[in-house]
Amino acid sequence: IEFSTQVLKCDPSSISFASDYPIISSPDTSRALDIAAHHLRDLSQTVVFPTETVYGLGASAQSTQATSKIFSTKGRPPDNPLIVHVSSLTMLRTLLPLGYNLSRAYEVLIKHFWPGPLTLLFPRNADIIPTIVTANQPSVAIRMPSHPVARALIASSNLPLAAPSANSSGKPSPTRVEHVLRDLDGKVPIILDGGACDIGLESTVVDGLQADGNIRILRPGGITVEEIERVLRQEMHDCAQIPKVLNAPTTPGMKYRHYSPSVPVTLICTSSSPPQGTNPLAVSAFLESLVNTHDEVKIGVMAPSDSKLWGFLVPKEGLHWRRYDLGPSSDPSVTAHRLFDGLLTLEKEGVHLILIEEVKEDREGLAIMNRVRKAAGDSV
């Protein structure tokens, strides 16, 4: 199905919440949300909306018919489950099995990180959530976004929304409306424009359902391991055992390639030790090898602003550099915010190859390198 895609502006600053309900001061934003809610609730259609992480492609999580349109629009494999988005704890409780009680660890994480970029696994209520959402898994991933437009849309439609990133499957996630339009224009009826996403990487996915009570990070993201460890220590110091936070990336969609633009991506390793039996290359020799003497070559480079790599990008006949600054190496949150925009911006500029320099894997760096490794076809 082809649509004449409507882009409707929403002003996040015009939305506030009284308890679970949105109060909207802008008539244009209120009208846009009403139109989008109508498409979701009454027409069983998809709607693209902003979150604090990336733009999402949403549909009713309670409808197999509606949710199936997410998979067909994205070309998403059916064994890759979706995250369900709620606007309140009241809505969360309607999705959980009767009699299910939150663990102490989940209470702590919800207290500190909801609304926000943290997804938690819960037992699936088979009467509410269809199997298409969970890819036949016994658990369902749920989060409460903090972006005012996302939360207001969910509350206005009174529907939990299944919503992966609003891009063709395998492509970099969109953090601006122009990213969505280049990919999905004509494939979705409504896009709510709430401006650039603040965080720029998807949510952290946590499994706290295992018998040992530990917290497993299935996907690193907007909430860091260090932050999770800190609040658990802070709030559960009186418990016999504080849950361990384990890095265990095992989400079902991991077997698929993600975050890849239409041009090759190479990871440049400038600080980690080379694999055993591998000799590192001199930077100058590697860059020299990229030059094709017969054609003009445009190469995009993504690196921290204080990287030594910039000093090697000297002008050369037939070779054109396109630079994309990822911010200071001391602040990986800036790199996280700029990562997907960099990939999509350089792709739009028509480069033949994108080089990304590695960053240290602490704080947001863990999530950054998780995405970069999936985007890169090779590493040097």
Q: Tell whether 203 is in a known binding site.
A: yes
Tokens 């001391």 correspond to 330
Question: Please, what is the end-to-end C-alpha distance for the chain in angstroms?
Answer: 43
Q: Tell whether 93 is in a known binding site.
A: no
Q: Tell whether 289 is in a known binding site.
A: no
Q: How far apart are CA 201 and CA 190, in angstroms?
A: 23
| Tally of residues, the chain | 380
Please check whether residue 366 is in contact with residue 223, taking contact to mean a CB–CB distance below 8 angstroms. Answer: no
Q: Tell whether 284 is in a known binding site.
A: no
Q: Tell whether 80 is in a known binding site.
A: yes
Q: How far apart are CA 140 and CA 96, in angstroms?
A: 9
Calculate the alpha carbon distances from 358 to 170, 343, 351, 365 in Å.
21, 14, 20, 9
Q: Tell whether 51 is in a known binding site.
A: no
In whole angstroms, how large is the CA radius of gyration of the chain?
A: 22
Q: Tell whether 85 is in a known binding site.
A: yes
Q: How far apart are CA 302 and CA 246, in angstroms?
A: 30
Please check whether residue 9 is in contact with residue 146, taking contact to mean a CB–CB distance below 8 angstroms. Answer: no
What is the CA 94 to chain-centroid distance, rounded? 25
Helical segments of 80-160, H only = 89-95, 104-113, 131-134, 148-157
Q: How far apart are CA 137 and CA 78, in angstroms?
A: 12
Q: Tell whether 219 is in a known binding site.
A: yes
Residue numbers in the known binding site for L-threonine are 53, 85, 143, 163, 203
Residue numbers in the known binding site for ATP are 76, 80, 165, 173, 219, 259
Residue numbers in the known binding site are 53, 76, 80, 85, 143, 163, 165, 173, 203, 219, 259
